[in-house]
Chain A
Protein backbone atom coordinates (compact mmCIF):
# COMPACT_ATOMS: atom_id res chain seq x y z
CA UNK A 1 0.00 0.00 0.00
CA UNK A 2 1.26 3.49 -0.80
CA UNK A 3 0.78 5.24 2.51
CA UNK A 4 1.82 8.59 1.11
CA UNK A 5 -0.76 8.53 -1.67
CA UNK A 6 -3.47 7.51 0.77
CA UNK A 7 -2.51 10.31 3.18
CA UNK A 8 -2.55 12.77 0.29
CA UNK A 9 -6.05 11.57 -0.63
CA UNK A 10 -7.39 11.90 2.91
CA UNK A 11 -5.97 15.42 3.27
CA UNK A 12 -7.41 16.48 -0.13
CA UNK A 13 -10.77 15.02 0.85
CA UNK A 14 -10.72 17.00 4.09
CA UNK A 15 -9.85 20.25 2.38
CA UNK A 16 -12.20 20.07 -0.58
CA UNK A 17 -15.98 19.94 0.08
CA UNK A 18 -16.67 19.34 -3.63
CA UNK A 19 -14.42 16.29 -3.73
CA UNK A 20 -15.98 15.19 -0.44
CA UNK A 21 -19.45 15.43 -1.98
CA UNK A 22 -18.35 13.29 -4.93
CA UNK A 23 -16.80 10.86 -2.46
CA UNK A 24 -20.01 10.56 -0.47
CA UNK A 25 -21.97 9.96 -3.68
CA UNK A 26 -19.54 7.43 -5.13
CA UNK A 27 -16.60 6.68 -2.85
CA UNK A 28 -15.18 3.80 -4.86
CA UNK A 29 -15.02 5.77 -8.10
CA UNK A 30 -13.45 8.82 -6.43
CA UNK A 31 -10.75 6.70 -4.77
CA UNK A 32 -10.08 4.88 -8.03
CA UNK A 33 -9.82 8.19 -9.95
CA UNK A 34 -7.34 9.43 -7.37
CA UNK A 35 -5.16 6.43 -8.04
CA UNK A 36 -5.56 4.54 -4.78
CA UNK A 37 -4.75 0.86 -4.77
CA UNK A 38 -7.51 -1.75 -4.70
CA UNK A 39 -6.50 -2.89 -1.19
CA UNK A 40 -6.83 0.69 0.10
CA UNK A 41 -10.22 1.14 -1.55
CA UNK A 42 -11.35 -2.17 -0.06
CA UNK A 43 -10.22 -1.16 3.44
CA UNK A 44 -12.22 2.07 3.28
CA UNK A 45 -15.28 0.51 1.66
CA UNK A 46 -15.42 -2.23 4.28
CA UNK A 47 -14.89 0.27 7.09
CA UNK A 48 -11.86 -1.76 8.14
CA UNK A 49 -10.50 0.52 10.88
CA UNK A 50 -7.42 -1.63 11.46
CA UNK A 51 -6.35 -1.45 7.83
CA UNK A 52 -7.05 2.30 7.69
CA UNK A 53 -4.97 2.69 10.88
CA UNK A 54 -2.13 0.83 9.16
CA UNK A 55 -2.22 3.45 6.44
CA UNK A 56 -2.73 6.55 8.56
CA UNK A 57 -1.37 5.51 11.94
CA UNK A 58 -3.18 4.53 15.11
CA UNK A 59 -5.38 7.21 16.55
CA UNK A 60 -4.03 9.15 19.46
CA UNK A 61 -5.68 9.62 22.81
CA UNK A 62 -8.44 12.15 22.50
CA UNK A 63 -9.37 13.11 25.99
CA UNK A 64 -9.49 16.27 27.94
CA UNK A 65 -9.73 16.01 31.69
CA UNK A 66 -11.83 18.54 33.48
CA UNK A 67 -11.79 17.10 36.95
CA UNK A 68 -8.23 17.05 38.11
CA UNK A 69 -7.71 15.39 41.44
CA UNK A 70 -3.98 15.20 41.68
CA UNK A 71 -2.60 13.15 44.58
CA UNK A 72 -1.10 15.33 47.26
Chain B
Protein backbone atom coordinates (compact mmCIF):
# COMPACT_ATOMS: atom_id res chain seq x y z
CA UNK B 1 0.00 0.00 0.00
CA UNK B 2 2.99 2.27 -0.43
CA UNK B 3 4.73 4.48 2.08
CA UNK B 4 2.59 7.62 2.25
CA UNK B 5 -0.70 7.02 4.01
CA UNK B 6 -3.58 6.59 1.53
CA UNK B 7 -1.70 8.34 -1.27
CA UNK B 8 0.56 5.62 -2.62
CA UNK B 9 -1.81 2.71 -2.92
CA UNK B 10 -2.24 1.52 -6.51
CA UNK B 11 -5.63 1.20 -8.18
CA UNK B 12 -5.28 -2.58 -8.30
CA UNK B 13 -4.15 -2.88 -4.68
CA UNK B 14 -7.01 -0.68 -3.51
CA UNK B 15 -9.49 -2.86 -5.38
CA UNK B 16 -7.96 -6.00 -3.84
CA UNK B 17 -8.34 -4.50 -0.36
CA UNK B 18 -11.93 -3.44 -1.00
CA UNK B 19 -12.97 -6.80 -2.42
CA UNK B 20 -11.37 -9.12 0.14
CA UNK B 21 -13.36 -11.00 2.78
CA UNK B 22 -10.68 -10.12 5.29
CA UNK B 23 -7.65 -7.81 5.20
CA UNK B 24 -4.58 -8.44 7.34
CA UNK B 25 -2.44 -5.38 7.61
CA UNK B 26 0.98 -4.28 8.73
CA UNK B 27 0.75 -0.51 8.65
CA UNK B 28 3.14 2.13 10.00
CA UNK B 29 0.57 3.99 12.09
CA UNK B 30 -2.90 3.60 13.62
CA UNK B 31 -4.27 6.19 11.20
CA UNK B 32 -3.15 3.93 8.32
CA UNK B 33 -5.10 1.08 9.86
CA UNK B 34 -8.13 3.36 10.26
CA UNK B 35 -7.87 4.38 6.61
CA UNK B 36 -7.71 0.71 5.58
CA UNK B 37 -10.84 0.10 7.65
CA UNK B 38 -12.67 2.66 5.54
CA UNK B 39 -11.87 0.50 2.49
CA UNK B 40 -12.73 -2.79 4.17
CA UNK B 41 -14.47 -3.09 7.53
CA UNK B 42 -12.97 -6.52 8.17
CA UNK B 43 -9.42 -5.33 8.71
CA UNK B 44 -7.10 -7.02 11.23
CA UNK B 45 -3.71 -5.67 12.33
CA UNK B 46 -0.74 -8.02 12.40
CA UNK B 47 1.20 -5.67 14.73
CA UNK B 48 0.28 -7.62 17.92
CA UNK B 49 2.59 -10.40 16.71
CA UNK B 50 5.60 -8.14 17.41
CA UNK B 51 7.10 -7.81 20.86
CA UNK B 52 10.35 -6.60 22.41
CA UNK B 53 12.36 -9.68 23.36
CA UNK B 54 10.33 -11.94 21.07
CA UNK B 55 12.29 -13.43 18.20
CA UNK B 56 11.08 -11.69 15.06
CA UNK B 57 10.94 -14.99 13.20
CA UNK B 58 8.31 -16.16 15.67
CA UNK B 59 6.38 -12.95 15.03
CA UNK B 60 6.59 -13.52 11.29
CA UNK B 61 5.56 -17.16 11.50
CA UNK B 62 2.57 -16.11 13.58
CA UNK B 63 1.54 -13.61 10.91
CA UNK B 64 1.84 -16.19 8.13
CA UNK B 65 -0.15 -18.76 10.11
CA UNK B 66 -2.91 -16.29 10.89
CA UNK B 67 -3.33 -15.29 7.25
CA UNK B 68 -3.19 -18.88 6.00
CA UNK B 69 -5.81 -20.02 8.50
CA UNK B 70 -8.27 -17.62 6.85
CA UNK B 71 -7.22 -18.84 3.40
CA UNK B 72 -7.86 -22.42 4.49
CA UNK B 73 -11.33 -21.43 5.66
CA UNK B 74 -12.07 -20.47 2.07
CA UNK B 75 -11.97 -16.71 2.60
CA UNK B 76 -10.66 -14.25 0.03
CA UNK B 77 -7.69 -12.89 1.99
CA UNK B 78 -5.70 -9.73 1.32
CA UNK B 79 -2.45 -8.86 3.08
CA UNK B 80 -1.87 -5.11 3.09
CA UNK B 81 1.73 -4.17 3.90
CA UNK B 82 3.38 -0.76 3.93
CA UNK B 83 5.84 -0.02 1.15
CA UNK B 84 6.23 -2.78 -1.40
CA UNK B 85 4.93 -6.03 0.08
CA UNK B 86 7.79 -7.96 -1.46
CA UNK B 87 10.71 -5.70 -0.58
CA UNK B 88 12.56 -6.52 2.65
CA UNK B 89 9.58 -8.52 3.70
CA UNK B 90 9.52 -12.24 4.41
CA UNK B 91 5.91 -12.58 5.54
CA UNK B 92 4.12 -11.81 2.25
CA UNK B 93 6.51 -13.96 0.20
CA UNK B 94 6.21 -16.88 2.61
CA UNK B 95 2.42 -16.60 2.82
CA UNK B 96 2.16 -16.67 -0.97
CA UNK B 97 4.60 -19.61 -1.22
CA UNK B 98 2.65 -21.63 1.32
CA UNK B 99 -0.77 -20.74 -0.11
CA UNK B 100 0.32 -21.76 -3.60
CA UNK B 101 1.85 -24.97 -2.29
CA UNK B 102 -1.50 -25.78 -0.67
CA UNK B 103 -3.18 -25.28 -4.05
CA UNK B 104 -4.62 -21.80 -3.56
CA UNK B 105 -4.34 -18.93 -6.01
CA UNK B 106 -2.10 -16.18 -4.62
CA UNK B 107 -0.37 -13.18 -6.16
CA UNK B 108 1.50 -10.07 -5.06
CA UNK B 109 0.78 -6.57 -6.28
CA UNK B 110 3.81 -4.26 -6.55
CA UNK B 111 3.77 -1.14 -4.39
CA UNK B 112 5.71 2.06 -3.87
CA UNK B 113 8.69 1.10 -1.73
CA UNK B 114 10.86 3.27 0.50
CA UNK B 115 13.53 2.94 -2.19
CA UNK B 116 11.15 4.38 -4.79
CA UNK B 117 10.48 7.31 -2.44
CA UNK B 118 14.20 7.80 -1.89
CA UNK B 119 14.84 8.34 -5.61
CA UNK B 120 12.13 11.02 -5.69
CA UNK B 121 13.00 12.72 -2.41
CA UNK B 122 16.77 12.82 -2.90
CA UNK B 123 16.71 13.34 -6.68
CA UNK B 124 18.90 10.32 -7.32
CA UNK B 125 18.63 8.44 -10.59
CA UNK B 126 19.91 4.88 -10.11
CA UNK B 127 20.79 4.83 -13.79
CA UNK B 128 23.47 7.49 -13.38
CA UNK B 129 25.99 5.65 -11.24
CA UNK B 130 24.27 2.42 -10.26
CA UNK B 131 22.88 1.47 -6.87
CA UNK B 132 23.97 -1.09 -4.32
CA UNK B 133 21.21 -1.72 -1.84
CA UNK B 134 21.59 -3.87 1.28
CA UNK B 135 19.96 -4.36 4.63
CA UNK B 136 22.74 -3.04 6.91
CA UNK B 137 23.32 -6.24 8.89
CA UNK B 138 23.25 -8.33 5.74
CA UNK B 139 25.92 -5.99 4.35
CA UNK B 140 28.09 -6.43 7.45
CA UNK B 141 27.73 -10.15 8.07
CA UNK B 142 28.22 -11.29 4.50
CA UNK B 143 30.94 -10.49 2.03
CA UNK B 144 29.57 -7.54 0.07
CA UNK B 145 32.52 -5.33 -0.84
CA UNK B 146 30.98 -2.07 -2.05
CA UNK B 147 31.84 -0.35 -5.29
CA UNK B 148 32.59 3.25 -4.20
CA UNK B 149 31.92 4.51 -7.74
CA UNK B 150 28.19 3.94 -7.29
CA UNK B 151 25.65 4.74 -4.55
CA UNK B 152 25.43 2.48 -1.53
CA UNK B 153 22.14 2.26 0.38
CA UNK B 154 22.14 0.61 3.79
CA UNK B 155 18.62 -0.02 5.07
CA UNK B 156 17.76 -0.26 8.76
CA UNK B 157 21.19 1.11 9.60
CA UNK B 158 20.12 1.63 13.23
CA UNK B 159 20.16 -2.14 13.67
CA UNK B 160 23.44 -2.76 11.81
CA UNK B 161 25.17 -5.73 13.40
CA UNK B 162 22.05 -6.77 15.31
CA UNK B 163 21.92 -10.56 15.19
CA UNK B 164 19.48 -11.54 17.93
CA UNK B 165 16.32 -10.43 16.06
CA UNK B 166 14.86 -9.73 19.49
CA UNK B 167 15.50 -6.03 19.97
CA UNK B 168 14.57 -2.77 18.29
CA UNK B 169 17.39 -0.72 19.79
CA UNK B 170 20.47 0.66 18.12
CA UNK B 171 23.95 -0.13 19.47
CA UNK B 172 26.46 2.71 19.01
CA UNK B 173 29.41 0.32 19.31
CA UNK B 174 28.11 -1.70 16.37
CA UNK B 175 27.49 1.46 14.35
CA UNK B 176 31.12 2.36 15.02
CA UNK B 177 32.16 -1.04 13.68
CA UNK B 178 30.12 -0.38 10.56
CA UNK B 179 31.84 2.98 10.11
CA UNK B 180 35.27 1.40 10.57
CA UNK B 181 34.40 -1.23 7.99
CA UNK B 182 33.18 1.38 5.52
CA UNK B 183 36.42 3.33 6.05
CA UNK B 184 38.10 0.71 3.85
CA UNK B 185 36.41 2.38 0.89
CA UNK B 186 35.25 5.80 2.08
CA UNK B 187 37.06 8.62 3.92
CA UNK B 188 35.82 9.58 7.39
CA UNK B 189 34.77 13.02 6.12
CA UNK B 190 32.80 11.57 3.18
CA UNK B 191 29.37 13.19 3.08
CA UNK B 192 26.52 10.74 3.59
CA UNK B 193 22.76 11.20 3.93
CA UNK B 194 20.41 9.95 6.64
CA UNK B 195 17.14 9.35 4.82
CA UNK B 196 13.67 8.74 6.18
CA UNK B 197 10.64 8.71 3.91
CA UNK B 198 7.48 10.39 5.18
CA UNK B 199 4.66 8.05 6.23
CA UNK B 200 2.36 11.00 6.82
CA UNK B 201 2.04 14.18 4.74
CA UNK B 202 2.49 16.33 7.85
CA UNK B 203 5.91 14.78 8.42
CA UNK B 204 9.10 16.09 6.88
CA UNK B 205 11.27 13.79 4.81
CA UNK B 206 14.61 13.41 6.58
CA UNK B 207 17.56 14.06 4.29
CA UNK B 208 20.22 15.00 6.78
CA UNK B 209 23.75 15.36 5.50
CA UNK B 210 26.48 14.26 7.88
CA UNK B 211 29.99 12.90 7.50
CA UNK B 212 30.55 9.17 7.73
CA UNK B 213 32.52 9.76 10.93
CA UNK B 214 29.47 11.33 12.58
CA UNK B 215 27.21 8.34 12.02
CA UNK B 216 27.49 6.70 15.45
CA UNK B 217 26.66 10.00 17.17
CA UNK B 218 23.62 10.66 14.97
CA UNK B 219 20.03 9.89 15.86
CA UNK B 220 19.04 6.75 14.02
CA UNK B 221 15.46 5.55 13.81
CA UNK B 222 14.44 2.03 12.83
CA UNK B 223 13.45 3.29 9.41
CA UNK B 224 16.56 5.44 8.80
CA UNK B 225 18.50 4.56 5.66
CA UNK B 226 22.14 5.45 5.20
CA UNK B 227 22.78 6.77 1.71
CA UNK B 228 26.44 6.83 0.71
CA UNK B 229 27.10 8.76 -2.51
CA UNK B 230 29.96 7.70 -4.78
CA UNK B 231 33.45 8.42 -3.46
CA UNK B 232 35.22 7.97 -6.78
CA UNK B 233 34.56 8.53 -10.45
CA UNK B 234 33.21 5.85 -12.74
CA UNK B 235 36.02 4.05 -14.56
CA UNK B 236 35.78 2.82 -18.13
CA UNK B 237 36.07 -0.92 -18.69
CA UNK B 238 38.65 -0.80 -21.49
CA UNK B 239 38.70 -4.57 -21.93
CA UNK B 240 35.03 -4.64 -22.93
CA UNK B 241 35.25 -1.36 -24.84
CA UNK B 242 38.17 -2.67 -26.92
CA UNK B 243 36.16 -5.80 -27.75
CA UNK B 244 33.28 -3.59 -28.89
CA UNK B 245 35.50 -1.22 -30.84
CA UNK B 246 34.63 1.72 -28.57
CA UNK B 247 36.78 4.42 -27.04
CA UNK B 248 36.09 7.07 -24.40
CA UNK B 249 35.33 9.59 -27.15
CA UNK B 250 32.39 7.40 -28.23
CA UNK B 251 30.55 8.39 -25.06
CA UNK B 252 31.04 12.10 -25.54
CA UNK B 253 29.78 12.27 -29.13
CA UNK B 254 26.07 12.95 -29.62
CA UNK B 255 25.88 12.14 -33.34
A residues contacting B by CB (< 8 A) are 7, 10-11, 13-15, 17, 20, 23, 44, 47, 52, 56-71
Contacts and interface: CB of A to CB of B under 8 A. Distances in A.
B163 interface: yes
Contacts of A23: 201
Given A11-B35, A44-B202, A66 B138 contact: yes
Given A15-B7, A69-B163, A64 B156 contact: yes
Contact of A11 (B5, B30, B138): B5
List 10 tightest A-B contacts by C-beta distance, closest first: A57-B30, A14-B7, A64-B88, A13-B201, A66-B135, A14-B6, A56-B31, A70-B57, A65-B56, A62-B223
Q: A-side binding surface: helix, strand, loop or mixed? A: loop
A63 B89 CA distance: 9
B176 to A, nearest CB: 20
A67 B29 contact: no
Contacts of A70: 55, 57-58, 165
A63 B47 CA distance: 11
B28 A60 contact: yes
Interface of B: 4-8, 26-31, 34-35, 47, 50, 55-58, 60, 82, 88-90, 135, 137-138, 141, 156, 159, 163-165, 168, 199-202, 204, 222-223
B141 A7 contact: no
Contacts of A15: 6-7
Given A7-B31, A11-B5, A15-B6, A60 B47 contact: yes
A14 B4 CA distance: 7
A59 B199 contact: yes
B90 A64 contact: yes
Contacts of A13: 201-202
Nearest to A31: B202
A10 B200 contact: yes
B81 to A, nearest CB: 9
Contact of B88 (A7, A60, A66, A71): A66
Contacts of B137: 66-67
